[in-house]
Structure 1
Amino acid sequence: MSEQNASQIPQSINEPNKHPERSRRKRSRRELLKTHFGFDSFRPNQEEIIESVLAGEHTLAIMPTGGGKSLCFQLPALALEGTAIVISPLIALMKDQVDALNANGIMASYYNSSQPSEAQEEVLNNLMIGQLQLLYVAPESLWNLTNYFQKTEISLIAVDEAHCISAWGHDFRPAYTQLSRLQDEFPQTPIIALTATADRATQDDIMKQLRIENGKRFVSSFDRPNLYMEVRPGQQRIQQVLQFLKDKENQSGIIYCLSRKSTEKVAEKLVAKGYKAKAYHAGIEAEERSRIQEDFVNDRIPIIVATIAFGMGIDKSNVRWVIHYNMPKNIEGYYQEIGRSGRDGLPAHGLMFYSFADVVQLRKFATGTATEAFQLAKLERMQQFAEALSCRRKALLNYFGEHVIQDCGNCDICKMPPKYFDGTVIAQKICSAVARLQEQEAMGMVIDVLRGSQNAQIFEKGYQNIKTFAAAKEIPWKDLQQYVIQLLNQGVLEVWFHEKGRLVLTPTAKQILFEGKKVRLADLTQPEAVALTKEKTPKKRKDLFEKLRTLRTKLAQEAGVPAYVVFSDASLEDMEQKTPKTVAEFAEISGVGRAKLEKYADVFLQVIAKHQDAMESKVATHERSLQLFEKGFSVTEISNKRGISENTVYGHFLKMKELGHTIDLSQFITSEEISAVQKAKQALKDAEGLRPYFDYFEEQMPYWKIKFGLFLDD
């Protein structure tokens, strides 16, 4: 459909969205959440962000990778009349999200330059007749479609991966800078910008560039507690990788390398050791790259060895580990890349190798660029993180302005902590120097002042006259630098990169200076090298999980979508644990909404039922009877269900009691009956077997009850 033809479509088909009032569907947010996405509750901040968008507010949402950002615009798109425009940077990301939405019964499409003209025309036709709830477009394609947008109702505009708009962001993309025009083209439409990785300067810049400075800002916790973080020295990396992979079976994982050559070299060595692995980088033909990515997404290739270009457009939820073969160039990139693992909330592992050679190489990459000083400052902060001697999660969260006090217990430092000493006085001196320098100086100058250095710059600025000049002259320069780095990693200080790297105090620093808060610093004496210990072998998946995974793969192949679009690993684990037997029980599984319930309940329930039957056949008959009783079945129900007599069921209970299992037999026989059996025992001293007892009671007491009475008498 040409733009000229679009201009001839009568406006009565879909009136333009000219009014700030947001028309809403009647269903509640939670009903939409369960019906379309299969979840019973929102994650932190999701509901508040959704309400902000529904109220017509411009919104900035900073949420961790895997924290549920997409839902913050997808659910409002269902609650509001019209079509939501989603600006997304990568074609693969659009396709994956549209596949997932369609699988949940949501009308969504994407429009980009990779589509044939017929497909583009179909998308635009659906847009014009009001058949799309969400339309994904690349920023480069956006302005070619404004004529269509003006003739339909646009409910909201979502700018995904919004850090791409900011020069301070780690993944700046020039096409995003044109998005400042959105306010002119859609003055009454709420804009929501979303990203997982933006420090304070980047957040401010995003809002400024989009001209939504007065909008609401939501910064969710950056914490991903399911991610284990570890840094190792960069010696013998390939041997360490092979050791790491020994217990990972067919788990999906990504290995990031700095160079194309490294990706190929590492992939070759893994293949030689029997692993299914592929290299991925920009030098590979586009068609082959696309095939490799699809094989990874569809679980045909579990390991990808890639440059950092890989992964941004992948919504694969079951990546279990990420290895950085080389140190990343900044913390934002590191955080985003490890965040590609464990998106389903299950345990995941981030391993980074670090050596000074990585630092040298990354410095070369930054040298001569337009933002050289800025990049080098961020690289230095990344190096400080790699060399951290305190909890890595604290260091990571504090970097993003989320000040935490407790150690996480789920990183290499917490698992094997160094020796600490009371560093409160040193911390007070450092914080005092930063304060007396009006928080205007970078780390080097702060250390020089504390050491009492006699350099020209100090005397030019008059810093020799401040109270903290030479306050730490007894501490070597390098050691003092390490203590400052520890305070940065502990969230006592911050670096403002966008303002010449000056050090500023956090609320924690003020507690140290004025409220007597204690500080622990790590002893800088290097401990002896510790031999790498073999990780504990994780418990193997139960047979049921593998059966469900096989079914999921089959269904995904038939539908032509990635396996996780059918169900995530977390959903399969929930099925494994709950073993639903009915459609109603299946509806309670995490990730099962209305569309997936209708489409998949029967086939998954069949696999679960067959598995349960097979498991039951392996269980001893007496054990099975007790299992059913413990699940709430009565003796009569067990008898009917298993096709055995009630007498046999009671016999099974007695057998299990004799084997040491906990079952109270007295619930089946009264104390009077037990006394009667005891009397019969005295009267029938020489009797053999149970027949004399049965005759004694004139056939009025069943054999099983006689057995119980004799057992309880003993």
Structure 2
Amino acid sequence: MENNIVLTDKLQEYFGFDRFKGKQEEAIKSVLEGNNTFVLMPTGGGKSLIYQLPALILEGTAIVISPLIALMKNQVDSIRGTHSEDNIAHFLNSSLSKSAIAEVKEDVLSGKTKLLYVAPESLTKEDNIEFLKKIKISFYAIDEAHCISEWGHDFRPEYRRIKPIVEEIGKSPIVALTATATAKVQHDIQKNLGILDAKVFMASFNRENLYYEVRPKVKPETQIIKFIKQNEGKSGIIYCLSRKKVEELAETLLINGVKALAYHAGMDAATRSGNQDKFLMEEVDVIVATIAFGMGIDKPDVRFVIHYDIPKSLEGYYQETGRAGRDGGEGQCVTFYSYKDIQKLEKFMHGKPVAEQEIGKQLLLDTVSYAESAICRRIILLHYFGEKYEPENCGNCDNCLNPKEQIEAKDEIVTALKAILEVNEKYKGDHIANILIGNKTAAVKSFKHDTLKAFGTGKKHEERYWNAVFRQSMVAGIINKDIENYGLLKVTPVGHEFLAKPHSFMLVKNHEYEEEDGSNSGGAPSGGSSGDPQLFAMLKDLRKKIAKRNNLPPFVIFQDPSLADMSIQYPISIDELQQIQGVGMGKAKRYGREFAALIKSYVEENEIDRPEDLVVRSVANKSKMKVFIIQSIDRKLSFEDIADSKGVDVKDIITEVEAIVNSGTKLNIDYYIDDVLDEDHQEEIFDYFREAETDSIEEALAELGEDEYSEEDIRLMRVKFFSDLGN
């Protein structure tokens, strides 16, 4: 007991805390007793204390191996902050000058330094090895130890070389620490460091305050903006896999009134750290980032983490979602999933070494099974980290809040177990699924597995169904994945019992995630067919009134397809009007106010549910072509030259120009019209459109005479007419 009292005294003396968290104390005792120790604690669990406190108490210097220079500096600063002397902790890495290195070595040799942080790369340098041989090392602490395993989500080859170097310097106890490790990764770490005898301390991976949800990736931008607007003013992180997507999404959020910034490794360091600081200081609410963001981000009140793309591994997913709700408050974790993304990720792997592809594929399969599963997200996530979650319903994930239908699967489990045993437990789930459904893949044929008893015994179900059977049998402990050859399915003792005495097994039916189609649903009908005929008629009346007031034909104000789109989408603000087909900023500002007001009162009076999707503005995709045309017209280039440089016809350029002008942008093409039409002809067409009922080109040609004018002449003049009068 005395040891105990002393420990809490030391904790108070060095760090000002009066009690330990979770398993900290037991782990610290293990280090003090000189045992090899393995510590697995989720972020925020207080891992660093487990080596810092013993280092201050024990004789000698503790060597802490850490992968990130920035984190080292933070750690050293924080220890110095709790101690009167700066030389209590130092770091040795490539950022130090020669004289600084000499100073560090002097402090260490004189015995003043209790903690020396080293990057694995610095550890391998010959002169550092010679130097470390001279000092008394209390123990080695390997932080972020998952970097050792190729199965970890952040593998660093230089971490594989730690063991031989430590042996060269001189043996001392080893403490390995990590915040995420599956059973497979943990085994890898211990094996690689030669500490299979280590005492293992695991804290629970359950973060009760986090809400997990997986949504189909249909119009994700719209869903994200809607989500953020419902969580106005809260801090959040959105992860995307590519830098390009990060920048596009950040821009889309900005023009939709969300304070957002981008963050990825391709930006220069100053911009990147500037954006990070703005997020920490709450000058912006949302950071859109690649996974480079978040290492060492200690913002306690991140309220949501959204994955625009599904992560490559469940470990990565756990790490990233774990940045939400660090203070124990609300943390919403929403992930968008479509199987197409998985196929994209598999394509990325093709260039890599075969072993790496194999690993990547297995990790992806685990992610897919998490996403498509209909059982409690927590059960699957915790099971992945080797932890059993007892409650049937966690009450804080989409699957528990909306339970899915269950079906009896006793016979199917038996069928699956027989197949696994028939191939001597030497194959992975996807191969066994192919055997069950009777799919003669190349692998099935080459192993002659199409001659097995099990072949085709499960053909009344599809592959997805069998994946659910394997996954849910794993959670129930009936089968598991081999640790040495990850992915091979093995039948556990519980599974053998099940085979001997099968009992009811309720299988939860998998989600079917429908794919997003490329077409933009919800757009306006072509022509003038309308959504709400009553509103459409009212909008036409209003258009007539405004046209009369401005002494213009009605179609100059808005064309029929625009009114039709309004009667479908019910836009009630100038912002929303700009989303309507054929209405740009210029038109919306010039004529939009009365239309928006009319629609708003109509919606309120008739208690109409508006399609919220409308609220999303897309980044002004004036496509490069449009921008090019506008710039060329500013430079007074002829339409022929513009067409030639883009490899298209003059007709195509006129079509683009019409689209630009119809949505309210003013273009001055007089210089070009003056070249092709004399003044009288121009005036005749212009006057025609002033009086015309419609803006139809055919009618204009019939009225003005096809022998006198070409279709292009009339289209050009109509552009000028709209631009001069409408915009």
Question: Would you say 1:472 and 2:458 are equivalent positions?
Answer: yes
Partner of residue 95, structure 1? 73
1:418-429 aligned at under 5 Å gives the runs 418-429=404-415
State how far apart, in whole Å, the 1-side matches of 2:232 and 2:116 are: 39
Superimposed CA distance per residue, residues 158-180 of structure 1 (whole angstroms, 9 cap, x where no aligned partner):
11111212223221112222212
For 1:396, the aligned partner's letter is: L
State how far apart, in whole Å, the 2-side matches of 1:490 and 1:409 are: 20
Question: Would you say 1:380 and 2:369 are equivalent positions?
Answer: no
Superimposed CA distance per residue, residues 244-284 of structure 1 (whole angstroms, 9 cap, x where no aligned partner):
22354554332111111111122223333444332111211
State how far apart, in whole Å, the 2-side matches of 1:180 and 1:57 are: 16
1:84–1:134 contact (8 Å) kept in structure 2: yes
1:395–1:488 contact (8 Å) kept in structure 2: no
Q: Kindly, what percent of the aligned residue pairs are identical? A: 43
Q: For residue 246 of structure 1, give the secondary structure of its aligned residue in structure 2.
A: helix
State how far apart, in whole Å, the 1-side matches of 2:100 and 2:235 are: 32
Partner of residue 181, structure 2? 198
1:287-298 aligned at under 5 Å gives the runs 287-298=270-281
State how far apart, in whole Å, the 1-side matches of 2:184 and 2:510 are: 32
Question: Would you say 1:126 and 2:107 are equivalent positions?
Answer: yes
2:312–2:364 contact (8 Å) kept in structure 1: yes
Partner of residue 617, structure 2? none
Seen in structure 2, the aligned counterparts of structure 1 residues 445 and 99 have a Cα distance that, compared at 3 Å, is: same
In structure 2, the gaps of 5 or more residues are 516-727
Deviation at 1:497, TM superposition (A): 7.8
1:159-558 aligned at under 5 Å gives the runs 159-370=142-353, 371-407=356-392, 408-451=394-437, 471-488=457-474, 492-496=478-482, 499=485, 501-506=487-492, 509-510=495-496, 512-513=498-499, 518-524=504-510
State how far apart, in whole Å, the 2-side matches of 1:359 and 1:239 are: 22
TM-score by length of 2: 0.63
Q: For residue 499 of structure 1, give the secondary structure of its aligned residue in structure 2.
A: coil
Superimposed CA distance per residue, residues 434-465 of structure 1 (whole angstroms, 9 cap, x where no aligned partner):
23433212223323444466789768767678
1:323–1:351 contact (8 Å) kept in structure 2: yes
State how far apart, in whole Å, the 1-side matches of 2:255 and 2:408 are: 50
Q: For residue 244 of structure 2, give the secondary structure of its aligned residue in structure 1.
A: helix
Partner of residue 34, structure 2? 56
Seen in structure 2, the aligned counterparts of structure 1 residues 332 and 28 have a Cα distance that, compared at 3 Å, is: same
Seen in structure 2, the aligned counterparts of structure 1 residues 134 and 391 have a Cα distance that, compared at 3 Å, is: same
1:25–1:81 contact (8 Å) kept in structure 2: no
Deviation at 1:294, TM superposition (A): 3.9
Deviation at 1:397, TM superposition (A): 1.6
Seen in structure 2, the aligned counterparts of structure 1 residues 252 and 191 have a Cα distance that, compared at 3 Å, is: farther
State how far apart, in whole Å, the 1-side matches of 2:387 and 2:270 are: 42
2:414–2:502 contact (8 Å) kept in structure 1: no
1:70 to 48, 53, 61: 48
For 2:179, the aligned partner's letter is: A
1:318–1:341 contact (8 Å) kept in structure 2: yes
Partner of residue 518, structure 2? none
Q: For residue 309 of structure 1, give the secondary structure of its aligned residue in structure 2.
A: coil
For 2:21, the aligned partner's letter is: R
For 1:484, the aligned partner's letter is: F
Seen in structure 2, the aligned counterparts of structure 1 residues 405 and 433 have a Cα distance that, compared at 3 Å, is: farther
Q: For residue 70 of structure 1, give the secondary structure of its aligned residue in structure 2.
A: helix
Deviation at 1:420, TM superposition (A): 1.4
Superimposed CA distance per residue, residues 394-434 of structure 1 (whole angstroms, 9 cap, x where no aligned partner):
11122223233433222111111111123233223323432
Deviation at 1:489, TM superposition (A): 5.5
1:396–1:489 contact (8 Å) kept in structure 2: no
1:25–1:80 contact (8 Å) kept in structure 2: no
For 2:424, the aligned partner's letter is: Q
- Once the two structures are overlaid, the 10-residue window that deviates more, 375-384 or 210-219, is 210-219
State how far apart, in whole Å, the 2-side matches of 1:37 and 1:346 are: 25
State how far apart, in whole Å, the 2-side matches of 1:183 and 1:117 are: 24
1:390–1:490 contact (8 Å) kept in structure 2: no
State how far apart, in whole Å, the 2-side matches of 1:326 and 1:160 are: 29
Seen in structure 2, the aligned counterparts of structure 1 residues 276 and 79 have a Cα distance that, compared at 3 Å, is: farther
For 1:135, the aligned partner's letter is: L
Partner of residue 82, structure 2? 104
State how far apart, in whole Å, the 1-side matches of 2:254 and 2:322 are: 26
In structure 1, the gaps of 5 or more residues are 1-23, 530-714
Deviation at 1:300, TM superposition (A): 4.7
State how far apart, in whole Å, the 1-side matches of 2:404 and 2:508 are: 6
State how far apart, in whole Å, the 1-side matches of 2:14 and 2:411 are: 56
Deviation at 1:362, TM superposition (A): 0.9
**Using CA pairs below 8 Å that are at least 6 residues apart, which structure has the higher relative contact order?**
1
2:372–2:513 contact (8 Å) kept in structure 1: no
Query: How many residues were matched structurally?
Result: 506
For 1:97, the aligned partner's letter is: Q
Q: For residue 231 of structure 1, give the secondary structure of its aligned residue in structure 2.
A: strand
State how far apart, in whole Å, the 2-side matches of 1:418 and 1:389 are: 6
State how far apart, in whole Å, the 2-side matches of 1:249 and 1:103 are: 37
State how far apart, in whole Å, the 2-side matches of 1:374 and 1:528 are: 27
Seen in structure 2, the aligned counterparts of structure 1 residues 452 and 366 have a Cα distance that, compared at 3 Å, is: closer
State how far apart, in whole Å, the 2-side matches of 1:65 and 1:517 are: 40
Over aligned residue pairs, what C-alpha RMSD do you find? 3.3
Deviation at 1:385, TM superposition (A): 1.0
For 1:74, the aligned partner's letter is: Q
State how far apart, in whole Å, the 2-side matches of 1:399 and 1:355 are: 21
Seen in structure 2, the aligned counterparts of structure 1 residues 276 and 456 have a Cα distance that, compared at 3 Å, is: closer
State how far apart, in whole Å, the 1-side matches of 2:485 and 2:14 are: 45
Q: For residue 351 of structure 2, give the secondary structure of its aligned residue in structure 1.
A: coil
Q: For residue 238 of structure 1, give the secondary structure of its aligned residue in structure 2.
A: helix
For 1:47, the aligned partner's letter is: E
1:88–1:94 contact (8 Å) kept in structure 2: yes
1:152 to 114, 119, 135: 135
State how far apart, in whole Å, the 2-side matches of 1:147 and 1:293 are: 39
State how far apart, in whole Å, the 1-side matches of 2:3 and 2:510 are: 61
2:239–2:288 contact (8 Å) kept in structure 1: yes
State how far apart, in whole Å, the 2-side matches of 1:277 and 1:36 are: 40
Seen in structure 2, the aligned counterparts of structure 1 residues 180 and 238 have a Cα distance that, compared at 3 Å, is: same
Q: For residue 303 of structure 2, give the secondary structure of its aligned residue in structure 1.
A: strand
1:163–1:170 contact (8 Å) kept in structure 2: yes
Q: For residue 365 of structure 2, give the secondary structure of its aligned residue in structure 1.
A: helix
Partner of residue 680, structure 2? none
TM-score by length of 1: 0.64
Seen in structure 2, the aligned counterparts of structure 1 residues 252 and 93 have a Cα distance that, compared at 3 Å, is: farther
2:133–2:170 contact (8 Å) kept in structure 1: no
Question: Would you say 1:135 and 2:116 are equivalent positions?
Answer: yes
Seen in structure 2, the aligned counterparts of structure 1 residues 421 and 58 have a Cα distance that, compared at 3 Å, is: same
State how far apart, in whole Å, the 1-side matches of 2:334 and 2:462 are: 32
For 2:359, the aligned partner's letter is: F
